[in-house]
Every structure is written in structure tokens, then in C-alpha cells.
Amino acid sequence: LDYHIEKGLMFWTDVTLDRIMRSYVNGSGVQQVVSSGLESPGGVAVDWIHNLLYWTDSGTSRVEVSHLDGSYRKVLVWDNLEKPRALALHPLHSLMFWTDWGDSPRLESAAMDGSQRHTVASRNLHWPNGITIDYTRNQIYWADAKYHIIEKANLDGGNRRAVISRGLLHPFGVAIFEDKLYWTDWQSKSVNSANKFTGRGAKTIRSRLHFPMDIQTYHPLRQPKDINRCERSNCSHLCLPRPGGVTCACPTGFRRVNITHCAENIDHFLVFTRKTDIRRISFDGLERADTVLPVKNLKNAVALDWHSQHPGHIYWSDVGRDSISRAEWDGSNEKVIVSSSLDSPAGLAVDWITNKIYWTEAGINRIEVALLDGSMRCVLIWTGLDRPRAIVVHPATGHMIWTDWGTEPKIERAGMDGTNRTTLVSSGLTWPNGVAIDYLTDRVYWTDAGAKTIESCDLHGANRQVVVGDDLPHPFGITMDEDTIYWTDWQSKCISSADKRTGMNRKILRENLEYLMDIRFYHNSRPQSPNPCSVRNGGCTHLCLLSPNLDGVNGGDILSTPYRCACPTGLTLSHDRHKCNTEMNKFLAIARRTDIRVISLDVQYSADVKLPIRSFLANVVDVAVDPRDGYLYWSDIGSHEISRTLLIDPAVSEAVVSSGLDIVEGLVVDPIGRLLYWTDDGRDIISVSSLDGAHQRVLVHNDLGSPRAIALHQGIGYMYWTDWGNNPSAKIERAGMDGTDRSVIVSSDLIWPNGITIDQELGWLIWDVHYQPHQQRIERSDLLGGNRTIIHSSSPHPYSISCLDGFVYWTDWETRNVRRMDLHNTSDVRTLRENMPSMMGMKAVSMEPPGPNICGLNNGGCSHLCLRSPTARMGYTCACPTGIRIGRDGKTCSDLPEEYLLFTTRLSIRRLSLEADTNTYVELPVGDLENTIALDYHYGRQLLFYTDVYLDVIKRSNLDGTNSKTIVSRKLQTTDGVAVDWVADNIYWTDAGPKTISVARLDGSSRKVLIDQGLDEPRALVVHPSRGLVFWTDWGEKAKIEKMNMDGSGRKVRIAVICSGRTDSSIDYNNSRLFYVDASDELNRIETCDFNGRKRRVVVS
């Protein structure tokens, strides 16, 4: 650490975060100063006169400088440095000193501009740690942890002698002030002092410290004032002091245009990936030090390329994150542009003419293209690839060239539109890695890590020659400028160069660089040119791709280069060959827990596309599609919702069912009847609703163990579902789509039946099942469960299954594959997509318009639900939402039951009808609840009131649960009871926190405390408006039930409960009796009494 006393700042390095930080001396205002390109910043020093920051980095082996804010960073010393550690400055003499821990330990100095480098000490050093300067006597002090010594010498290294050579265990940092020497010690975990001249009088100032590091003495005398010689300089970037003057310096890599000014940009440099960073080596300046580009979040960067068009971007792929990103050269506007459906994007190329990016994917063997922002992705090549690696493009000829590492290594060429594919080189290859094009001579260069060579050929694969054939341990990336090739080598950890024609004049540009990957040569003379895609995008609605110039490899005029229109992944071209169809006609929709993918069945390749759904997906387990309106539906067991979005605009979505759901495992759309069906494994029910989620009705609720997938046969009016049950009671059932005529059709040899689907053309019911441990199979039967046959048994864990056009598709959990079988030839099984983890429900979808609705245009005359029925005379039946009895006309439903119970379950408010033939509850859509306790209602105004003791609020909604809002939110603590006066339109509530009973209007206004004395734990309360009475229970030490007038007067104890416990109460208004519950362990019963507490008796015990 170090400080700037005049500015009140302190600076420190962090070798865990690899950052340099600063703050004010009081600890406030913490901020990063340098956050990129550091690997082990062990030393830092402040030039308090010229306002500069210096540091050492033993990971990058360099000494650097910048302004105090980290700007205009420059490498000062990098040659023959191994592990520079501590650093100290002498701005009065324009000198800097540092220790080096390397194989040849030494203490060095240089001018503060990096010149005049000098070895101060090199003998009898092993672990030279801290260093400090005595400015009054012009001496340097340093500690050596290995030799357990602190020494000093003159600034030139003369007059060296030991200050303390005994009693030191592991000295680390050193500092001086006046006559005292201070140091930290790792082993004794202490801060110590002694006389700086003699070393005598040693004492411990502070002990029991956890690894004390650097140390400084803070005082104005430690930063004596002097003239800032840079104030009169005219340096454009950095002004660095040196003995006798100053030097105007440029940030690393920038060219100095005159004695004071630097260029604003770097025109020529090498840029390369190094797994967790991207670096460049400038050819504009004199030094060849590499600098780290300030891009972040790299995990395993491999390929890269660049685009010089303003403002200029660097593009890179990351096989650790399976993403492609870009940023401007200063690190700004960094953005992931491709992040879905990628698997090991090992190669990357920029088409700087038509502004596209091309990349290879070694994991799924594809080559794709997109616009520079990652949009309009298109699969170009998907067959005959086996681990494609590097890729380059040649826009002038309309070609792209790539290497392939597979079992039959090769170098291939195709048009930039994917057409006219041919093999250039297929013999004498082992591990072809990097590839580059010499655009001046139209030759292809590549590295081969197996053959340990660099070779070249022309664009036809002819005239092959070895350029470099020796001393290449493991060449990887390759690039070139006019006359020189450059390459990276994994094993030698070097970046090297050689003549591109002869391989002679080999040089090592940088060495000791771990994890070297791809490399590119940047120059700003790569011009944009007019091209056939530059005018109205060639007439293409989406992608305009250059095609190979078959009239000659080097056609010269790029305007004459042919082109082809192409469509984003999964879409097809219309007959005019320029316009893309905007929607897929047939596709697979796949739920993947946190996203939803589609795989087009309209094209020859099988590439998945992630739908850009903006709403949060917690745990999506199934999907369904309405082909008429183009909606995609999904069930999310994390949010307990069923939601939908338009396929043509998936950025906008809505929840259609947001209450009353637990674990919706199966979901299916009836596109003809305009209905939504689902199974709920948590509630063990099967339900139906309108497509907007309205009119929800439970169809099946008895004898369900664990309902899973569901399928519909609209033609005959039946639904089919799988049920895991309680082993061994797994089964497959069917019932009418109105819930009638239910029967078990398969119940033997089933353990975990998962997916189920119907081929209506063949009349087959198809399902996948786990029938024995580690044995899975796909079976079929007729629609009654007969003629059962195994049609596939070699998939280890089939899960979801779906039919379309004579094919059955399924997902496999274990292999992570999507597979397809021809039902007319069950031996024809193909894998469509590999290595796609977290797959859940899947549907094969056709967007062809559905057939006519048997319910007709008027919904069959039904007010709510018109359900297809195999037993009804008309083929359909009218039905009401759960709990509501249909009217005498058999078609009309009311909005709410006439008689029902309302109850809370902490996280929900539920309604249980007293007039329906099933005891199935309905959860009211009141929104998020945390701990709902009390509720009451106002029937005349159709309002519901309830309390939440976690949120400390009182809310109200309509009786159907809609339009929920908070009416009381201040000064509430534990509102366990609420009651509505439906005559005077008031609400009453108890609060056990402040021990009060209060009243307010129905909107929460005019709030008043009625009782605030003599209450212990008031809980439930009820009102009798016609009598003007309020009754409440008290859970206190002496449990009781009390009453008062509704204005708070006339308070009396009516019932003294025998044993304290949990109580609740209700009123029988017709018979003037009070009913109450005592849930104590001793009583645990329901009692009743009159309004005076007499005629008490037990009702239920």
C-alpha cells in the first residue's frame, strides 16, 4: 500500500481480486483504479509530486505506471523481469526501486520513465520482500525473508550493510520514520520497530495479526514537497520524471507522433486470447509489451476477430460460457451477442464487407452466421462436420474456409452462404488448428498441432507446401500481415513470427504466456467496399450472404460477386427467394426449466432456437401451442403459474392461471374447442379452462396418485393421461374431455409412465415408461389400451413424447438428446439434437388451422365452458367453473356459488362450494400472500377483507379475489382478527402487538382505536350489527372471550376459558348463539353459548 498525503488518498493492491484500489485515508470513497490485466500486483507506489501511480506485477512480470485514476497506463519495464515484488519511489531524484523474487533475485532501479535501468544488488539475495527509502540520507532499506535480514545501501548499491540480522522470522514490509525502522513479520504475525542505524532496541508494537503485509509511515515528512516539473510540460498523455528532466510518454502500444504528443489510436497490432483475458501487442510503438484489453467475464476465451468500422469492435468466443461477445477496444459497450444453443464455439470470423459474423461449433458440429449484433442467426452447414475448429472468410471471393479436427481431419471450403462445399486438404493432417488467408496471394495457411507444422496451399487446395516444419511443439492460432506469419504455441507458451514464404527469420515476440489461444493481426487499412448486399440488402428481407465466385477465385470486383438470401434459423424462403416466411409451420417446442426452445421441422437441419421470453422462468416443465392464435403456453412449477406469449412476439407474456396451482406437470391445448387442459401432481387433479385462464373447472379429482402427461383426441372427445400413482399402482387412464366416462386402460408393467401422445391417423396411443429398474421403453396400443406393443427399447431415459405427421419425437434425460422415429418404419430412429440438458415437456406442433368446433360459433349456447363429450347426445356439454351448479337450462352459470366457505391457508385464500357435487376448492386470485390469518366479507358490496401478519397489512378485494388492494398498512403488528360490519360499512380488527382493537371505514379511513387497555393477546373477533355487539377471543395467560358495544363501550368478560389455548369464534345470528373453538391440547373442541356466556355446551370434541 501507499498514500498521497496532499490529496488525502491511499492506494492498495489486492492479489486475490487482482486489482488496484484507492480510497480516502478515512476509508470512504473506495473505488477501483486498475481492474484488468493484473495477475499478481504485489507492489504499489505513489509519486506525490507528479501525481503518478506505479506498480509491480509478478504474474505479468512488469513494472507499470498510470495517472492516479488508472488512466494512460504504460508498461515501463518488462524485459528480463521475473517476479517483481515491492516498489519504492524517490521522486526527488526521479528514481524507482524494486525487488525481484525470480530465479536470479535482485534489487534494481531505473529512472521513473523506465530508462537508466541499473542493478543495485544481486548477491546474497533470495526472497527480497519489502523496500523503502530514507529520503533524508538517500539510502534504501529492504528485507529478505529467506535470509531473515534487513539491509540498507546507498541509492547506487554502495555501502551495503545489514541493519538487523538476528531475531527476524519472516520479514515482509519495511518502513522508516525519523530514526525508527518498522517492519511486518508473517511468522510472528507482528509489527515491530528498531533503531534504523544500529538495529538495536527492537520491540513488538502489535502482535497477533493475521499475515501483516506492507507497511507505511504516514507523515508529511515522508512526502517532502518539490517542484512538479510536469506542470510546464506539454505532454498529451503521460509526463514521467527522469534525472535532469521529464519524458513525454504514450500509453503502451500508442505511437508518439512528436516529442510531446501521442497518436489517439493504435493502427497495427496483434490481438490474442489467453483463456481468461485478451491482449494485444502494438507494432506502432517501440516496445513490444503486451497489454490486456479491459474486457470482463472471460472464462475460457478461444477464438477472436475484429471489425475496424467505427467505433471498432473486438469479437470473441468463450467455450467455458458457450457464448460469443463483443466490445469496443477500450472495453466499453461489452455485450454477449450470442448465448443460447451454443456448444463449444471454437472458431470465429468477421465478414467486414457485409457485416456478418461466422462461427463454428465443435460440440454440435455446425457452422452458423449472424449479423454483427448476433441477430438473425442462420445455420449454414450441419452435415459432415466432426469437431470444426478455426474459420476464416474471404469476402472478395465469397468463400469461407475452416479446419476440422475429427476422426478424418480436413480443411474445407464453401461459399459464405454455405453452398459449393469442397475439401481442400484431407491428407497428412492430424490436428489442424488455426487457419488464415493471405489476401494478397490468395493462399491458405494453417497450423497442425499433431504434425507440428505450419503449411499453406492455394484456395483450391493445390500447391501445398510446408512453411515451418521444425521446433513447433504445439502450434494453435495463426494470423499474418503483408510478409509475416504469427502464431501461438500452447507448449512453448510463445508468440512467434516468421517469413510467410520461406519460414525463415523466426522470432519470438513474447514468451512465458500461459493458455495462448487464437491470434489476429489488426490493421486499419481493411476498407469497406461496395458489394451486392450493400444496396437494399440485395433485396433480402433478412440475411444477404455472399456466394462463391465460380467464374474465378479472385474475381477482383466484389460487386460482381454473387449472393443468396437466407433466413434466420428454422425459417424458410418464400418462392421469390428473397422474402423469409416469418413463422415456422411445423416445429418442436421444448421446455428447459429456465428457457423454452423451438426446433423447426420445416428445414433440413435441427437447430434449436431460444425464445426471447423476457419474463422470469423459474422451472418450466411443459409447453403447449395454440396454432390458431399463435400462442405458446407453459407451466412453471417454480412460480406456480401457467403463462402464455405470442410466438411472433415472445418478448411480451402474461400469466393466464396464477392461483390454485401446485405442480402442473402436463399441459395441452384443445385448439378446436379453444380450451386449456392440465394435470396438477401437487393437488392430484385434472382441470380445464378457457385459453385465457377464465372459467377454471376441475374435471377429475378422485383416485389420482400422481398425474403427469396429458393428451387429447378431439375427434372422439377423450383425454388420456399417465399417472405414476403409488408404486405399483401406476396407470394410464382416459376420460371424456368433460371428465365423464373415465376408465383405466393400461395398468400392468408400468412403474413411471412419463409422456403420452396420440397418432390420430393410425389410431395409436403411444407412451414412454420405466417398467423395470434401468429399463425404459416406448410402447403403443390402440385407443382402448389393447394390442399393446413395444416399438423402441434402446433409449436409456425417454421422458416427453409427441406425434406429428407419422413421426414420434421424444426427449431423453440421460443422453440429453431429441430423437425421432418413423411410425411406418420403427427401425428408422434418428437423433435430431444432441447434448441439450434440462429438457422437460415437449410438443410437436403444426400451425395448420384446426378443424371446425363442434360447439359452433356461439359456444354451444353455453355461458361459460363448452366441453367435448363422448357421452352427450350433441357431442358436447355445457359446464360451469368449479363449485358452481349449472342452471336449469343446462347452459347458464352464475359467477359465484350461492353458498360456500371461505378459508385461509397462510399463503392462499380458498373457496369451497357447498352446492357442488365435489369437494374441490378454488383458490382466489388475490395476489402474493405471506401469512394470511383472518378474513371476513361484505356480501352486499361483494367485498372480501383479510389480514397478513407477515406484511402487517389489511387488504380487501372483490369476493372473487380480483382487484386486491391494501387499505391499512401503518402501525400494524399482529392483526389476527378482522370482522365486517355490513350495516354501517365499517371493519374491526384486533392487533396483538400493541394489544388493541380498532375500527375504520371499509376503505381504511377514519381509523380509531376502541380498546387499548386490559388486552393480552386479542385474536379472533365477530360482530353482530343488529345487536350492536362485538365479541373477541383473547389468547392471553387467562384465556377468555369478551364482548363490547360496537362503539367500544359496555365491555364485559362473557366466558372465562378453563385452559388457555388457541381460540376462534363465530355467530349464529338466527339463534343468537356464539360458537368458538378452543384448540388447546387439553380441550381441542368446539363449544357454543348464548350472548351472555350461559347455556354453554360442547358441540364437537
CA–CA distance, 995 with 939 (Å, rounded to integer): 29
Positive or negative torsion for Cα 449, 453, 457, 462: negative
CA–CA distance, 249 with 233 (Å, rounded to integer): 12
Q: Which amino acid is at 237?
A: H
The span from the first CA to the last CA of the chain, in angstroms, equals: 75
Residues 767 and 701 in one domain: yes
Name beta bridge partners: 82.
none
Once rounded to an integer, what is the mean pLDDT over residues 490-505?
Answer: 96
Question: Is residue 479 pLDDT above 60, yes or no?
Answer: yes
Phi, psi values for residue 919, rounded to 5°: -95, 55
Contact (Cβ atoms closer than 8 angstroms) between residue 542 and residue 566: yes
Cβ-in-10-Å burial (0-12, 13-18, 19+) of 225 comes to exposed
What is residue 771's predicted lDDT score, i.e. its pLDDT? 67
Contact (Cβ atoms closer than 8 angstroms) between residue 608 and residue 811: no
In tens, the pLDDT along 338-372 reads: 998 899 999 999 999 999 999 999 998 999 999 99
Sheet strands side by side (includes 900-904) = 900-904, 909-913, 922-923
The domain tally of the chain equals 4
Count the alpha carbons within 13 Å of 387 in the hemisphere toward its beta carbon. Answer: 10
Phi, psi values for residue 536, rounded to 5°: 55, 35
Residues 958 and 813 in one domain: no
Q: How far is CA 28 from CA 31, 214, 215, in A?
A: 9, 20, 20
Q: How far is CA 179 from CA 41, 196, 201, 253, 535, in A?
A: 30, 6, 11, 44, 79
Q: Is residue 554 part of a domain?
A: no
Cα 1065 from chain centre: 50
Contact (Cβ atoms closer than 8 angstroms) between residue 992 and residue 976: yes
Once rounded to an integer, what is the mean pLDDT over residues 196-203?
Answer: 94
CATH number, residue 1075: 2.120.10.30
Once rounded to an integer, what is the mean pLDDT over residues 290-313?
Answer: 91
**Cα angle: 622, vertex 625, 627; to 5 degrees:** 170
In tens, the pLDDT along 368-416 reads: 999 999 999 999 999 999 999 999 999 999 999 999 999 999 999 999 9
| 62: nearest Cα among 45, 90, 40, 47 | 40
Three-state DSSP class for 232?
helix
The secondary structure of residue 924, as a DSSP letter, is -
The secondary structure of residue 573, as a DSSP letter, is B
CA–CA distance, 960 with 895 (Å, rounded to integer): 8
Q: Is residue 855 part of a domain?
A: no
Neighbours of 142 (CB within 10 A): 27
What is residue 270's predicted lDDT score, i.e. its pLDDT? 96
What is residue 770's predicted lDDT score, i.e. its pLDDT? 77
Residues 218 and 284 in one domain: no
Contact (Cβ atoms closer than 8 angstroms) between residue 945 and residue 955: yes
**Cα angle: 694, vertex 908, 1010; to 5 degrees:** 120
Of 302-311, 506-515, 780-789, 912-921, the one with minimum mean pLDDT is 912-921
Sheet strands side by side (includes 410-415) = 388-394, 399-404, 410-415, 422-425
What is residue 773's predicted lDDT score, i.e. its pLDDT? 62
What is residue 555's predicted lDDT score, i.e. its pLDDT? 47
Contacts 24+ apart (CB under 8 A), 235-240: 235/260, 235/261, 236/260, 236/261, 236/262, 237/72, 237/262, 238/52, 238/65, 238/66, 238/67, 238/72, 238/74, 239/50, 240/50, 240/52, 240/65, 240/76, 240/112, 240/113, 240/114
Q: Would you place residue 222 in the very low, low, confident or very high pLDDT band (cuts 50, 70, 90)? A: very high
Residues 191 and 282 in one domain: no
What is residue 557's predicted lDDT score, i.e. its pLDDT? 58
Of 325-329, 647-651, 1059-1063, the one with minimum mean pLDDT is 1059-1063
Residues 434 and 383 in one domain: yes
Residues 612 and 705 in one domain: yes
Residues 322 and 395 in one domain: yes
Concatenating the DSSP letter of every residue in 599-633 gives EESSSSS--EEE----S--S-EEEEEEETTTTEEE
Q: Is residue 475 part of a domain?
A: yes
Residues 210 and 100 in one domain: yes
CA–CA distance, 801 with 18 (Å, rounded to integer): 50
Neighbours of 392 (CB within 10 A): 26
Q: Is residue 473 part of a domain?
A: yes
CA–CA distance, 417 with 406 (Å, rounded to integer): 23
Question: Is residue 766 pLDDT above 70, yes or no?
Answer: yes
- What percent of the chain has pLDDT above 70? 97
Q: Domain boundary at 230, 253, 280, which?
A: 230
Contact (Cβ atoms closer than 8 angstroms) between residue 61 and residue 29: no
Three-state DSSP class for 711?
strand
Three-state DSSP class for 220?
helix
What is residue 1061's predicted lDDT score, i.e. its pLDDT? 44
Q: Which amino acid is at 184?
A: T
Q: Is residue 506 part of a domain?
A: yes
Once rounded to an integer, what is the mean pLDDT over residues 815-842?
Answer: 94
CA–CA distance, 942 with 902 (Å, rounded to integer): 13
**Cα angle: 480, vertex 481, 483; to 5 degrees:** 100
In tens, the pLDDT along 1004-1045 reads: 999 999 999 999 999 999 999 999 999 999 988 888 899 999
Q: Is residue 217 part of a domain?
A: yes
Element (H, E) at 489: strand 484-489
**Structural domain harbouring 711:** 586-846
Question: Is residue 1054 pLDDT above 70, yes or no?
Answer: no
Contact (Cβ atoms closer than 8 angstroms) between residue 467 and residue 503: yes
Contact (Cβ atoms closer than 8 angstroms) between residue 1097 and residue 1086: no
Question: Is residue 553 pLDDT above 50, yes or no?
Answer: no
Q: Residues 6 or more apart from 8 whose CB is under 8 A from it?
A: 24, 25, 26
CA–CA distance, 757 with 720 (Å, rounded to integer): 8
Q: Domain boundary at 478, 508, 523, which?
A: 523
Q: Would you place residue 296 in the very low, low, confident or very high pLDDT band (cuts 50, 70, 90)? A: confident
What is residue 214's predicted lDDT score, i.e. its pLDDT? 96
Contact (Cβ atoms closer than 8 angstroms) between residue 673 and residue 867: yes
Residues 371 and 313 in one domain: yes
Three-state DSSP class for 222?
helix
Q: Which residue has the cell 389393447?
A: 786
Once rounded to an integer, what is the mean pLDDT over residues 812-835?
Answer: 94
- What percent of the chain has pLDDT above 90? 85
Q: Is 1091 left (phi over 0), alpha (psi -120 to 50) or beta?
A: alpha
CA–CA distance, 498 with 445 (Å, rounded to integer): 13
Cell of 908: 392462499
What is residue 995's predicted lDDT score, i.e. its pLDDT? 95
Residues 178 and 276 in one domain: no
3-state SS string over 261-312? CECCCCCEEEEEECECCEEEEECCCCCCCEEECCCCCCCCEEEEEEECCCCC
Residues 718 and 832 in one domain: yes
Question: Is residue 59 pLDDT above 50, yes or no?
Answer: yes
Arithmetic mean of pLDDT over the chain = 93
Q: Residues 6 or more apart from 410 whose CB is under 8 A from it?
A: 403, 404, 423, 424, 425, 426, 429, 432
Q: Domain boundary at 830, 846, 862, which?
A: 846
Cα 1038 from chain centre: 56
What is residue 290's predicted lDDT score, i.e. its pLDDT? 86
* Helix, strand, coil percent content, the chain, rounded in steps of 5: 0, 50, 50
Once rounded to an integer, what is the mean pLDDT over residues 176-192?
Answer: 95
Once rounded to an integer, what is the mean pLDDT over residues 453-464?
Answer: 97
Q: Is residue 852 part of a domain?
A: no
In tens, the pLDDT along 713-762 reads: 999 999 999 999 875 689 999 999 999 999 999 998 888 899 999 999 99
Q: Which amino acid is at 726?
A: N
Q: How far is CA 526 from CA 329, 445, 647, 1019, in A?
A: 17, 19, 41, 80
Q: Is residue 924 part of a domain?
A: no
CA–CA distance, 196 with 73 (Å, rounded to integer): 36
Question: Is residue 709 pLDDT above 90, yes or no?
Answer: yes
What is residue 1058's predicted lDDT score, i.e. its pLDDT? 42
Please give the sequence-ordered ranges of beta strands (E in DSSP) within 649-694, or none if there are none.
649-657, 664-670, 675-680, 685-690
Torsion of CA 31, 35, 39, 44, to 10 degrees: -50
Residues 488 and 359 in one domain: yes
Contact (Cβ atoms closer than 8 angstroms) between residue 836 and residue 592: yes
